[in-house]
Amino acid sequence: MALDTLSETKAFGGVQGVYSHASAATGTDMTFSVYLPPHHDGARLPVLWFLSGLTCTHANVTEKGEFRAACAQHGIAFIAPDTSPRGDDVPDAADEYDFGKGAGFYVDATCQPWAKHYRMRSYIEDELPSLVAEHFPLDMARQSICGHSMGGHGALTIALRNPDRFRSVSAFSPIVAPSQVPWGEKALGRYLGDDRSAWREYDAVALIEDGARHPHMLVDQGTADNFLAEQLQTSQLSIACAKAGMEPAIRMQEGYDHSYYFISTFMAEHVAWHASRINAA
């Protein structure tokens, strides 16, 4: 699969790159970033994926996430995909920040006009991993995943569906039960249709209720997050995990909001937490 290099810049002894390619999954060009820490020739690097939230692209975490020093210290590659397909031919809801471009919700849409391009599940779970494995010195047997808000929803659901692939999963301010909150009801209803049973594989709480498990889960949620009560509802994840016998680290961080000031404060801790699991024998 062909890959175009948009930029490469030295950072913390490694290389921060931005790349694009023609995606078969979405039928569009897609852009993503990869940070490769300093490494010896012939090394194969473990991978930490980061999925971004509503309205974001790869650029938000790449420019504001403050992950590179920690990734360089622990020898972990950091990959940040886009959040949805892009392009003039891609359907959108231009006056709705929480739907359409920038709001792919990491699903494979089944309803028109979204089904042709909005296939972010296939893109993140299948196509992009194959592409980066071909072009970068990665050890795809050692992967973990992280995300923020809508991307936290994506990280949790992808890890719960693929526990053997991802050694650990963490999230900042995730939408834990999209089937039960306005953001998720809007997106899942329009991308997938009215049958709520089809939504459950894209809902972390529902997946756990239906038997999915992951042994290594970390969630940080700010107590001053203005989306907490209506859209995020972290307590639902705590309840579902307790009923399932799971023991995730769910940390309520006093006074923090939904922004990248919050994410960047705890990003190095997340990278180190993943490193202790991703590098385990």
CATH of the domain at 114: 3.40.50.1820
Select which of 117, 153, 258, 274 is catalytic.
258
User: How many domains does the chain contain in total?
Assistant: 1
Select from 280, 248, 18 the least CA-distant residue to 155.
Answer: 248
pLDDT at position 281 is: 59
pLDDT at position 111 is: 98
258 is catalytic: yes
Integer Cα distance of 242 and 236 in angstroms: 10
Select which of 149, 168, 170, 173 is catalytic.
149
197 is catalytic: no
pLDDT at position 169 is: 98
95 is catalytic: no
pLDDT at position 153 is: 98
Burial of 255: CB neighbours in 10 Å, binned 0-12, 13-18, 19+: exposed
Range of the domain at 273: 3-279
- In the predicted model, residues of the chain with pLDDT beneath 70 are 281
Burial of 141: CB neighbours in 10 Å, binned 0-12, 13-18, 19+: exposed
Cα 225 to Cα 13, 62, 168, 230, distances in angstroms: 35, 22, 25, 10
Integer Cα distance of 64 and 258 in angstroms: 13
The string over 143-182, giving b where at least 16 C-beta atoms fall within 10 Å of a residue's C-beta and e elsewhere, is: bbbbbbbbbbbbbbbbbbbeeeebbbbbbbbbbbbbbebe
pLDDT at position 279 is: 84
Contact yes or no for 191/110 (Cβ under 8 A): yes
Contact yes or no for 16/62 (Cβ under 8 A): yes
Q: What is the per-residue pLDDT across 221-275, written as a single tens digit (0 to 9) for each?
A: 999 999 999 999 999 999 999 999 999 999 999 999 999 999 999 999 999 999 9
Integer Cα distance of 164 and 168 in angstroms: 10
Q: What is the pTM of this model?
A: 0.97
Integer Cα distance of 132 and 136 in angstroms: 6
